[in-house]
Chains A and B, each alone.
Chain A
Amino acid sequence: MTTLTDPPKASFRLSMLIYDTRYRSLTFQAIAAIMLALCIWFLGNNLIQNLRAAGLNISYGFLGDPAGYDINQRLVEYDSQSSHAKAALVGILNTLLVAVLACITATVFGVIAGVLRLSNNWLVSKLMAVYVEIFRNIPVLIWIIIIFTIMTAVMPAPRDFRGDDATAGMVLDLFAFTNRGVYIPMPYFQNGIFANAAMNWILVLAGFVLSLVITRQITSRANAKQEATGVRPRTLLPILAAWFVPFAVLMLVMGLTFEVPALKGFNFKGGIKVGGPLIALWFALSIYTGAFIAENVRAGIQAINKGQTEAAAALGLRSGRIMNLVVLPQALRVIIPPLISQFLNITKNSSLAIAVGYADITATLGGITLNQTGRAIECVLLLMLFYLTASLLISMAMNFYNASVKLKER
């Protein structure tokens, strides 16, 4: 007779908590949980005691109080009577402004430098190597200060533009580079369709979207025809027309004009003023991050097997189409993930604005508001929350992109 015996039921011993792999991880996690709880209790207890000793509490009510300080560079209405929350909003918008501007220009610099570094012109490739090494190996803070110094100490004062013996002049009679900032012409509509200026610009944006839609239509039709007949119709002229015609019509109808800055009194009036700190931060972040992006671009292009180019050439493609159809689609898969993490770095490095007095979120909420209200914990927590949200959003975009270009394998 066979009997099924249960596996030996070892009675649970305390030493099994350490020596038995089944229970050991539970022990470790329990220890970790206790340590974590102790840490939190220790820090929280210290915090409560310190706050009580200083007569403080944690409250976010200060955000509604009037801020009482002015901000020069702003994208929305703000005056010194506005609340701290409004000041923080101005700061957030300024952070986003400089981050977006710097992302665009850094990409342009990076792509140009990265491609030129692979040039078969010895001098150009060496020059680009020098650019990359110099900018990567010097702290971005020093670059920001250097460009800020150029903007404030080297640029002429507005009074140098005055009179017949003026030592400085406007570039093309349109742009004025002064030590108080750069003045550029401001476009506006004389007879806009809407009374609100912003609505008119949204209309222009809608025009661009229309152009984009038409362009895609033209391309897909050309593709369909090529599939069917083998002959690709010429698309260059229709596409140019699709971009140019709606834009030109809108501009003509609404009467686009430029308000050119002019010297009035002690300063330039009219046009758009771009402050020195913004330019310093923007340009420094662009050239610094551009050097890193250049390396990513170079690595991405070099990562493509030479056989791919040769195979495409053997198929009879011309060099432009080899680049467009074979090399770039593969290289972009390598280039874009590090590119997006460089964008993340730009956003985080824009917090260095505080060193040159650009009113980003770190300078408003983490600087003046913190010093005026003394609400250190609340301000720093809000600041971290903002950057954390921005970072998470950007890395979400990156994951989304990575998933969409992932090699589809069986």
Chain B
Amino acid sequence: MATPKDSIAFVAEGTLPQLDPPANSVGPVKWLRENLFSTPANTLLTVASFYVIYMILGQVLPWVMNGLWTTGSLSECREILQGETGACFSVLTERWHQLLYGFKYPASEYWRPNLAVVLLLVAAAPVLFFDLPRKLLIFTALYPFIAYWLIWGGTILAPVVGLLGFVGAGLVFRTLGRDNFALGFIGAIGAALVVWYVGGALIPEGASDNAVLQAVPSRDLGGFMLNLMLGVTCVSLSLPLGIALALGRQSNMPLIKGICVVFIEFVRGVPLITLLFVASVMLSYFFPPDSTVDLFLRVVIMITLFSSAYIAEVIRGGLAALPKGQYEAADSLGLAYPEAMRLIILPQALKISIPGIVNVAVGLFKDTTLVSVISMFDLVGMIRGPILASTEWNGVYWELLGFAALLFFVVCYGISQYSQWLERRLATDHR
């Protein structure tokens, strides 16, 4: 009997081994086909993009690679390069200190702003990263006074009196504010003012002359350090002010609401430059006749007012985004307004507003370059003023502007990446 095996020429026994997929549908080739060359239009776009990248890199790379770092002037650079393309980065190495600290800051004291920046990172760390021990916040609270003393020097009594004012205010608030918030609040402001007034009178005349740290006039700080100090000071001052303005705008007291609305809309309606004009030419008319408030402080006041209006609007958005039930829950627990805000509303509203606040902070930090318009020598002011006007470096545009752009990019991009990390970190809703 013939088995099928004998009568049929071929019978498959078992399955064939699987073949690899075609080469053009796996690995890098597949990726290229899908992402770069999927349609003719896409191919065209890809080729155009490669051309753009090639053009930009082809110009920039040789220029950076051939860069000179150690010459003394632009003409020396040109001599060495002999007409070849190449950057003259020596301006950065030679004017490094001017770019960072301005041209008047005493050279022997550069370690002070450096130390202040390092301490700033330490002080900012517990605010930025919640996992760090909360005790570090004590240092953050002390930091403004330490930084003031480090950068501007002079008698240590001035920052100490400033600190004592806050300590006094805190003590008064603890005793008076226990049963009545408003009373404690007003008492705290009064206490701080009294301490500052008495303390200011007690600091002897000329205490700064032989201080441990040589006094540096505020006008002498310049360069990137000025941008950094303006940015940090104004953002941290405008946060509490912005919260107060946002709460004021939500208030049901017509007068307080009116004041806040007019202030916020006015400030948001005018460009920062006009406010800086106010600081430089107009504000001194509004101070008592024989007082001299220096330009740095006037600029800090105006930029703080400016950014507080924007922060107030961001926080108002956060307050409005909270469900009404949260407000009603706080009321039904019997919490008074300050407690309801402090314990229930603000923690949630501020969390929602974090991305907006960071946006305002980044924008503000970029806007600190505008002070160069009212002839303060920040990074841009230093580049356009003393450095480009000097005979050695007249004409070194790209190296200097590129350096400034890079510096701002690194800081601003870093901050925005941090804010995105924080958003993910704080996302407590389940998705």
Contacts and interface: CB of A to CB of B under 8 A. Distances in A.
A145 B384 contact: yes
B403 to A, nearest CB: 10
Nearest to A53: B289
B286 A348 contact: no
B372 A141 contact: yes
A121 B372 contact: no
B287 interface: yes
A100 B425 CA distance: 41
A176 to B, nearest CB: 23
B370 interface: yes
A351 B49 contact: no
Contacts of A380: 274, 277-278, 281-282
Interface string B254-271: 111001000000101111
A29 B380 contact: no
Interface in B389-420: 395, 397-398, 401, 404-405, 408-409, 412-413, 416
Given A121-B35, A123-B49, A142 B401 contact: yes
Contacts of B408: 137-139, 142
10 contacts: A121-B36, A121-B46, A123-B35, A127-B53, A149-B401, A348-B272, A366-B274, A383-B277, A384-B270, A388-B269
Interface string B109-146: 00000000000000000000000000000000000000
Contact of A138 (B271, B366, B384, B397): B366
B182 A28 contact: yes
B256 to A, nearest CB: 5
A193 B53 CA distance: 51
Interface of A: 18-19, 25, 28-29, 32-33, 36, 43, 46-47, 49-51, 53, 119-124, 127, 133-134, 136-142, 145-146, 149, 153, 348-349, 351-352, 354-355, 362, 366, 370, 376-377, 380, 383-384, 387-388, 391-392
B285 A354 contact: no
Interface pairs A-B: 6 shortest CB-CB: A122-B35, A391-B269, A137-B412, A139-B366, A348-B271, A376-B281
B401 A119 contact: no
B38 interface: yes
Interface in B353-401: 362, 366-367, 369-370, 372-373, 380, 384, 395, 397-398, 401
Nearest to B266: A388
Given A139-B369, A145-B384, A376-B282, 7 more contacts: A18-B180, A29-B253, A46-B287, A46-B288, A142-B408, A348-B272, A376-B285
Contact of A46 (B256, B269, B289, B372): B289
B373 A354 contact: yes
Contacts of A18: 180, 182-183
B52 to A, nearest CB: 7
Contact of A388 (B270, B272, B278): B270
B35 A384 contact: no
B367 to A, nearest CB: 7
Contacts of A28: 182, 253, 256
B362 A141 contact: no
A351 B256 contact: no
A355 B288 CA distance: 32
B45 interface: yes
B270 A142 contact: no
B42 A121 contact: yes
B255 A146 contact: no
Contacts of A142: 369, 380, 401, 404-405, 408
B273 interface: yes
A146 B384 CA distance: 11
Contacts of B397: 149, 153
A111 B254 CA distance: 42
A49 B253 CA distance: 34
Given A33-B255, A53-B289, A138 B274 contact: no
B13 to A, nearest CB: 46
